[in-house]
Amino acid sequence: MAHDRLVSPQGSPEDESSQALRPTRLAAFVGQEALKERLAIAIHAARERGEYLEHVLFHGPPGLGKTTLAHIIAAEMGGKLVTTSGPALEKTADLMGILTNLEAGDVLFVDEIHRTPRAIEEYLYPAMEDFAVDFVLDKGPYAKAIRLSLKPFTLVGATTRAGLISGPLRDRFGLYFHLDFYSPEALASIVARSASILGVDITPGATMEIARRARGTPRIANRLLRRVRDYAQYHGAARIDSAVAHAALLKEGVDELGLDELDRKVLTAIITRYGGGPVGIEALAATIQEEVDTLADVVEPYLLYENFLIRTASGRKATLKAYEHLRLRPPEQPVQPGLPLQ
Protein backbone atom coordinates (compact mmCIF):
# COMPACT_ATOMS: atom_id res chain seq x y z
CA MET A 1 0.00 0.00 0.00
CA ALA A 2 1.20 3.53 -0.77
CA HIS A 3 0.51 4.69 2.78
CA ASP A 4 2.98 2.11 4.08
CA ARG A 5 5.84 3.76 2.19
CA LEU A 6 8.55 5.32 4.31
CA VAL A 7 8.46 8.39 2.08
CA SER A 8 4.68 8.71 1.97
CA PRO A 9 3.61 12.26 2.93
CA GLN A 10 0.44 10.89 4.50
CA GLY A 11 0.35 10.69 8.29
CA SER A 12 0.73 7.43 10.20
CA PRO A 13 0.07 6.45 13.85
CA GLU A 14 3.81 6.70 14.49
CA ASP A 15 3.85 10.27 13.19
CA GLU A 16 0.89 11.25 15.35
CA SER A 17 2.54 9.75 18.44
CA SER A 18 5.53 12.08 18.04
CA GLN A 19 3.74 15.17 19.32
CA ALA A 20 6.88 16.37 21.12
CA LEU A 21 8.50 17.15 17.76
CA ARG A 22 5.73 19.62 16.89
CA PRO A 23 6.59 23.28 17.61
CA THR A 24 4.02 25.12 19.71
CA ARG A 25 5.00 28.70 18.85
CA LEU A 26 5.35 30.46 15.53
CA ALA A 27 8.92 31.52 16.30
CA ALA A 28 9.94 27.85 16.56
CA PHE A 29 8.30 26.90 13.24
CA VAL A 30 11.00 26.36 10.61
CA GLY A 31 10.48 27.22 6.94
CA GLN A 32 7.60 28.84 5.02
CA GLU A 33 9.06 32.25 5.85
CA ALA A 34 6.62 34.36 3.82
CA LEU A 35 3.66 32.52 5.35
CA LYS A 36 5.10 32.90 8.86
CA GLU A 37 5.52 36.64 8.44
CA ARG A 38 1.98 37.16 7.17
CA LEU A 39 0.49 34.95 9.87
CA ALA A 40 2.55 36.65 12.59
CA ILE A 41 1.24 40.05 11.46
CA ALA A 42 -2.37 38.83 11.51
CA ILE A 43 -2.02 37.23 14.97
CA HIS A 44 -0.25 40.26 16.45
CA ALA A 45 -2.81 42.70 15.04
CA ALA A 46 -5.77 40.61 16.26
CA ARG A 47 -4.33 40.28 19.76
CA GLU A 48 -3.50 43.99 19.99
CA ARG A 49 -7.06 44.91 19.01
CA GLY A 50 -8.51 42.36 21.40
CA GLU A 51 -10.24 40.59 18.52
CA TYR A 52 -10.36 36.99 17.34
CA LEU A 53 -8.27 35.86 14.39
CA GLU A 54 -10.08 35.67 11.07
CA HIS A 55 -10.86 32.23 9.71
CA VAL A 56 -7.78 30.66 8.11
CA LEU A 57 -7.43 28.28 5.17
CA PHE A 58 -4.19 26.34 4.65
CA HIS A 59 -3.70 24.46 1.40
CA GLY A 60 -0.81 22.46 0.01
CA PRO A 61 0.62 18.93 -0.15
CA PRO A 62 0.31 16.68 2.92
CA GLY A 63 2.98 16.62 5.61
CA LEU A 64 4.06 20.26 5.34
CA GLY A 65 2.71 21.53 8.68
CA LYS A 66 -0.95 22.50 8.28
CA THR A 67 -1.98 20.72 11.48
CA THR A 68 1.05 22.09 13.32
CA LEU A 69 0.12 25.63 12.29
CA ALA A 70 -3.41 25.10 13.63
CA HIS A 71 -1.90 24.10 16.99
CA ILE A 72 0.32 27.18 16.88
CA ILE A 73 -2.60 29.53 16.12
CA ALA A 74 -4.50 28.18 19.12
CA ALA A 75 -1.46 28.59 21.37
CA GLU A 76 -0.67 32.10 20.12
CA MET A 77 -4.29 33.24 20.49
CA GLY A 78 -4.68 31.62 23.93
CA GLY A 79 -7.53 29.33 22.91
CA LYS A 80 -8.21 25.61 22.92
CA LEU A 81 -7.79 23.57 19.73
CA VAL A 82 -10.68 21.31 18.73
CA THR A 83 -9.83 18.96 15.87
CA THR A 84 -12.08 17.18 13.39
CA SER A 85 -12.11 16.42 9.66
CA GLY A 86 -14.47 16.91 6.74
CA PRO A 87 -15.32 13.21 6.33
CA ALA A 88 -16.04 12.89 10.08
CA LEU A 89 -18.79 15.52 9.92
CA GLU A 90 -21.46 13.19 8.58
CA LYS A 91 -24.46 14.49 10.53
CA THR A 92 -25.71 17.93 11.46
CA ALA A 93 -25.76 16.88 15.11
CA ASP A 94 -22.01 16.21 14.95
CA LEU A 95 -21.27 19.77 13.88
CA MET A 96 -23.83 21.29 16.26
CA GLY A 97 -22.28 19.49 19.21
CA ILE A 98 -18.81 20.75 18.31
CA LEU A 99 -19.84 24.35 17.65
CA THR A 100 -21.99 24.78 20.75
CA ASN A 101 -19.20 23.50 23.00
CA LEU A 102 -16.61 25.96 21.70
CA GLU A 103 -15.51 28.69 24.11
CA ALA A 104 -14.69 32.24 23.06
CA GLY A 105 -11.34 32.30 21.29
CA ASP A 106 -11.18 28.56 20.63
CA VAL A 107 -9.84 27.26 17.32
CA LEU A 108 -11.80 24.67 15.35
CA PHE A 109 -9.46 22.79 12.99
CA VAL A 110 -11.13 20.94 10.12
CA ASP A 111 -8.71 18.74 8.20
CA GLU A 112 -9.58 17.68 4.64
CA ILE A 113 -12.19 20.41 4.66
CA HIS A 114 -12.82 19.88 0.93
CA ARG A 115 -14.50 16.58 1.87
CA THR A 116 -17.09 18.21 4.12
CA PRO A 117 -20.60 17.18 2.98
CA ARG A 118 -22.49 20.02 1.26
CA ALA A 119 -25.38 19.76 3.73
CA ILE A 120 -22.95 20.34 6.60
CA GLU A 121 -21.41 23.32 4.79
CA GLU A 122 -24.76 25.07 4.88
CA TYR A 123 -24.58 25.14 8.68
CA LEU A 124 -20.99 26.39 8.62
CA TYR A 125 -21.83 29.54 6.65
CA PRO A 126 -23.76 31.41 9.39
CA ALA A 127 -21.43 29.96 12.03
CA MET A 128 -18.41 31.51 10.30
CA GLU A 129 -20.08 34.81 9.36
CA ASP A 130 -22.39 35.57 12.28
CA PHE A 131 -21.29 33.11 15.00
CA ALA A 132 -24.74 31.56 14.94
CA VAL A 133 -26.38 28.41 13.67
CA ASP A 134 -29.85 27.97 12.30
CA PHE A 135 -31.68 24.71 12.80
CA VAL A 136 -35.24 23.57 12.25
CA LEU A 137 -37.47 21.91 14.82
CA ASP A 138 -40.27 19.56 13.76
CA LYS A 139 -41.43 19.14 10.17
CA GLY A 140 -44.11 20.29 7.78
CA PRO A 141 -46.58 22.91 9.06
CA TYR A 142 -45.11 22.65 12.57
CA ALA A 143 -41.55 23.42 11.45
CA LYS A 144 -39.91 26.22 13.36
CA ALA A 145 -36.55 27.83 12.60
CA ILE A 146 -34.38 28.67 15.60
CA ARG A 147 -31.15 30.65 15.60
CA LEU A 148 -28.64 29.69 18.29
CA SER A 149 -25.82 32.10 19.09
CA LEU A 150 -22.25 30.81 19.30
CA LYS A 151 -19.20 32.15 21.06
CA PRO A 152 -16.67 33.77 18.69
CA PHE A 153 -14.15 31.23 17.38
CA THR A 154 -11.60 30.83 14.59
CA LEU A 155 -12.11 28.12 11.99
CA VAL A 156 -8.86 26.78 10.52
CA GLY A 157 -9.37 24.65 7.43
CA ALA A 158 -6.72 22.47 5.80
CA THR A 159 -6.87 20.91 2.36
CA THR A 160 -4.63 19.28 -0.19
CA ARG A 161 -7.13 20.13 -2.93
CA ALA A 162 -8.15 23.76 -2.71
CA GLY A 163 -9.96 23.54 -6.05
CA LEU A 164 -12.51 21.14 -4.58
CA ILE A 165 -13.67 23.61 -1.90
CA SER A 166 -16.99 25.20 -2.84
CA GLY A 167 -16.96 28.90 -3.65
CA PRO A 168 -19.30 29.95 -0.81
CA LEU A 169 -17.15 28.17 1.78
CA ARG A 170 -13.88 29.51 0.38
CA ASP A 171 -15.23 33.07 0.40
CA ARG A 172 -15.83 32.93 4.15
CA PHE A 173 -12.13 32.55 4.97
CA GLY A 174 -10.33 35.81 5.62
CA LEU A 175 -6.77 34.45 5.47
CA TYR A 176 -5.40 32.11 2.79
CA PHE A 177 -1.99 30.47 2.99
CA HIS A 178 -0.31 28.06 0.58
CA LEU A 179 2.37 25.74 1.91
CA ASP A 180 5.07 24.64 -0.52
CA PHE A 181 7.80 22.02 -0.30
CA TYR A 182 10.71 22.89 2.00
CA SER A 183 14.31 23.50 0.97
CA PRO A 184 16.97 20.98 2.10
CA GLU A 185 18.45 23.66 4.37
CA ALA A 186 15.12 24.20 6.16
CA LEU A 187 14.62 20.46 6.51
CA ALA A 188 18.14 20.07 7.92
CA SER A 189 17.22 22.60 10.62
CA ILE A 190 14.04 20.63 11.38
CA VAL A 191 16.01 17.37 11.61
CA ALA A 192 18.55 18.97 13.94
CA ARG A 193 15.78 20.30 16.20
CA SER A 194 14.00 16.93 16.25
CA ALA A 195 17.25 15.10 16.98
CA SER A 196 17.86 17.39 19.95
CA ILE A 197 14.39 16.66 21.33
CA LEU A 198 14.87 12.92 20.82
CA GLY A 199 18.30 13.00 22.44
CA VAL A 200 20.06 11.87 19.25
CA ASP A 201 23.70 12.89 18.67
CA ILE A 202 23.89 13.76 14.97
CA THR A 203 26.35 15.67 12.79
CA PRO A 204 25.39 18.52 10.41
CA GLY A 205 26.40 16.30 7.50
CA ALA A 206 23.94 13.62 8.61
CA THR A 207 21.11 16.12 9.02
CA MET A 208 21.67 17.26 5.44
CA GLU A 209 21.88 13.64 4.25
CA ILE A 210 18.42 13.05 5.72
CA ALA A 211 17.08 16.40 4.50
CA ARG A 212 18.05 15.74 0.89
CA ARG A 213 16.02 12.54 0.89
CA ALA A 214 12.97 13.91 2.73
CA ARG A 215 11.16 15.03 -0.45
CA GLY A 216 10.73 18.59 0.84
CA THR A 217 8.43 17.34 3.62
CA PRO A 218 9.03 17.72 7.39
CA ARG A 219 6.86 14.70 8.23
CA ILE A 220 9.08 12.50 6.04
CA ALA A 221 12.24 14.09 7.46
CA ASN A 222 11.24 13.19 11.02
CA ARG A 223 10.24 9.69 9.94
CA LEU A 224 13.62 9.14 8.24
CA LEU A 225 15.39 10.44 11.35
CA ARG A 226 13.65 7.82 13.48
CA ARG A 227 14.68 5.04 11.08
CA VAL A 228 18.29 6.28 11.03
CA ARG A 229 18.26 6.42 14.83
CA ASP A 230 17.09 2.80 14.95
CA TYR A 231 19.82 1.75 12.51
CA ALA A 232 22.51 3.54 14.49
CA GLN A 233 21.33 1.98 17.73
CA TYR A 234 21.27 -1.51 16.20
CA HIS A 235 24.83 -1.11 14.91
CA GLY A 236 26.11 0.48 18.12
CA ALA A 237 26.89 3.87 16.60
CA ALA A 238 27.00 6.42 19.42
CA ARG A 239 26.85 9.31 16.96
CA ILE A 240 25.07 9.55 13.64
CA ASP A 241 27.32 10.88 10.89
CA SER A 242 26.67 11.15 7.16
CA ALA A 243 28.01 7.63 6.50
CA VAL A 244 25.62 6.09 9.03
CA ALA A 245 22.67 8.09 7.68
CA HIS A 246 23.55 7.14 4.09
CA ALA A 247 23.82 3.43 4.93
CA ALA A 248 20.58 3.46 6.95
CA LEU A 249 18.52 5.12 4.23
CA LEU A 250 19.92 2.93 1.46
CA LYS A 251 18.89 -0.05 3.58
CA GLU A 252 15.37 1.42 3.65
CA GLY A 253 15.38 1.76 -0.14
CA VAL A 254 15.45 5.56 -0.19
CA ASP A 255 18.04 6.85 -2.67
CA GLU A 256 20.05 10.07 -2.72
CA LEU A 257 17.17 12.15 -4.14
CA GLY A 258 14.45 10.69 -1.94
CA LEU A 259 13.00 8.25 -4.48
CA ASP A 260 11.87 4.85 -3.23
CA GLU A 261 11.05 1.60 -5.01
CA LEU A 262 7.60 2.74 -6.16
CA ASP A 263 8.95 6.01 -7.62
CA ARG A 264 11.66 4.15 -9.51
CA LYS A 265 9.12 1.57 -10.65
CA VAL A 266 6.92 4.29 -12.15
CA LEU A 267 9.78 6.01 -13.96
CA THR A 268 11.25 2.72 -15.19
CA ALA A 269 7.88 1.63 -16.59
CA ILE A 270 7.45 4.92 -18.48
CA ILE A 271 10.94 4.64 -19.95
CA THR A 272 11.25 0.92 -20.69
CA ARG A 273 7.63 0.01 -21.47
CA TYR A 274 6.47 3.21 -23.16
CA GLY A 275 9.67 4.66 -24.62
CA GLY A 276 9.73 7.57 -22.22
CA GLY A 277 6.09 8.46 -22.83
CA PRO A 278 3.62 9.90 -23.28
CA VAL A 279 1.49 7.36 -21.46
CA GLY A 280 -1.92 7.73 -19.84
CA ILE A 281 -2.11 7.30 -16.10
CA GLU A 282 -4.67 4.49 -16.39
CA ALA A 283 -2.34 2.48 -18.63
CA LEU A 284 0.60 3.19 -16.35
CA ALA A 285 -1.35 2.13 -13.25
CA ALA A 286 -2.37 -1.11 -14.94
CA THR A 287 1.21 -1.80 -16.00
CA ILE A 288 2.68 -1.53 -12.49
CA GLN A 289 -0.48 -2.82 -10.77
CA GLU A 290 -1.16 0.24 -8.64
CA GLU A 291 -4.29 2.33 -8.11
CA VAL A 292 -4.72 5.40 -10.31
CA ASP A 293 -5.38 7.57 -7.23
CA THR A 294 -2.15 6.34 -5.65
CA LEU A 295 -0.13 7.48 -8.65
CA ALA A 296 -1.96 10.80 -9.04
CA ASP A 297 -2.10 11.82 -5.38
CA VAL A 298 0.91 10.15 -3.74
CA VAL A 299 3.60 9.42 -6.33
CA GLU A 300 3.31 12.08 -9.03
CA PRO A 301 3.45 15.33 -7.01
CA TYR A 302 7.08 14.87 -5.95
CA LEU A 303 8.19 13.49 -9.34
CA LEU A 304 6.62 16.52 -11.02
CA TYR A 305 8.10 18.93 -8.47
CA GLU A 306 11.60 17.49 -8.95
CA ASN A 307 11.16 17.45 -12.74
CA PHE A 308 11.49 13.67 -13.19
CA LEU A 309 8.36 13.69 -15.33
CA ILE A 310 5.90 16.12 -16.85
CA ARG A 311 2.22 15.97 -17.69
CA THR A 312 1.11 16.62 -21.23
CA ALA A 313 -2.27 16.51 -22.93
CA SER A 314 -1.42 13.04 -24.22
CA GLY A 315 -0.01 11.63 -20.97
CA ARG A 316 3.06 11.49 -18.75
CA LYS A 317 6.60 11.86 -20.10
CA ALA A 318 9.93 11.12 -18.49
CA THR A 319 12.60 13.83 -18.54
CA LEU A 320 16.31 13.48 -19.15
CA LYS A 321 16.79 13.82 -15.39
CA ALA A 322 14.83 10.58 -14.91
CA TYR A 323 17.02 8.74 -17.41
CA GLU A 324 20.18 10.03 -15.74
CA HIS A 325 19.02 9.16 -12.23
CA LEU A 326 18.08 5.60 -13.21
CA ARG A 327 21.25 5.29 -15.29
CA LEU A 328 19.27 4.40 -18.39
CA ARG A 329 20.33 5.31 -21.90
CA PRO A 330 18.15 8.08 -23.37
CA PRO A 331 17.05 8.04 -27.01
CA GLU A 332 19.59 9.34 -29.50
CA GLN A 333 18.48 12.94 -29.76
CA PRO A 334 19.64 16.27 -28.39
CA VAL A 335 17.77 17.05 -25.17
CA GLN A 336 18.35 19.82 -22.68
CA PRO A 337 18.56 18.73 -19.02
CA GLY A 338 15.16 18.75 -17.33
CA LEU A 339 13.19 18.86 -20.56
CA PRO A 340 10.90 16.06 -21.74
CA LEU A 341 12.08 13.67 -24.41
CA GLN A 342 10.09 13.95 -27.61
pLDDT digits (tens, 9 = 90+) for 226-276: 999 999 999 998 899 999 999 999 999 898 888 988 999 999 999 998 888
Residue 339 has pLDDT above 60, yes or no: no
- One CATH from 3.40.50.1860, 1.10.8.60, 1.10.150.120, 1.20.1090.10 for 184-251: 1.10.8.60
Q: Please list the residues that pair with 149 across neighbouring strands.
A: 132
Which class does domain 261-326 fall in?
mainly alpha
Summarize pLDDT for 130-180 with one digit per residue, the tens: 898 877 666 667 666 777 888 999 999 999 888 888 888 899 999 999 998
Instruction: Provide the mean pLDDT of the chain.
Output: 87
How would residue 90 be classed by pLDDT, with cut points 50, 70 and 90?
Answer: confident
The structural domains of the chain, with segments of one domain joined by +, span 32-178, 184-251, 261-326
184-251 against 261-326: fold identical: no
Q: Are 68 and 32 in contact (CB under 8 A)?
A: no
pTM, entire model: 0.82
Q: How far, in Å, CA of 222 to CA of 218, rounded?
A: 6
pLDDT of residue 337: 55
Rounded average pLDDT over 20-27: 87
The share of the chain scoring above pLDDT 90, in percent, equals 53
- How many CB atoms within 10 Å of residue 40? 14
92 burial level (CB within 10 Å; 0-12, 13-18, 19+)? middle
Residue 2 has pLDDT above 60, yes or no: no
Summarize pLDDT for 40-88 with one digit per residue, the tens: 999 999 999 999 999 999 998 888 999 999 999 999 999 999 999 999 9
Name the residues annotated as catalytic.
66-67, 111, 160, 219
Q: What are phi and psi of 157, to 5 degrees?
A: -105, 145
- One CATH from 3.30.470.20, 3.40.50.300, 3.40.50.10540, 3.40.190.290 for 32-178: 3.40.50.300
pLDDT of residue 341: 54
Task: Answer left, alpha or beta for residue 329, where phi above 0 means left and psi between -120 and 50 means alpha.
Answer: beta
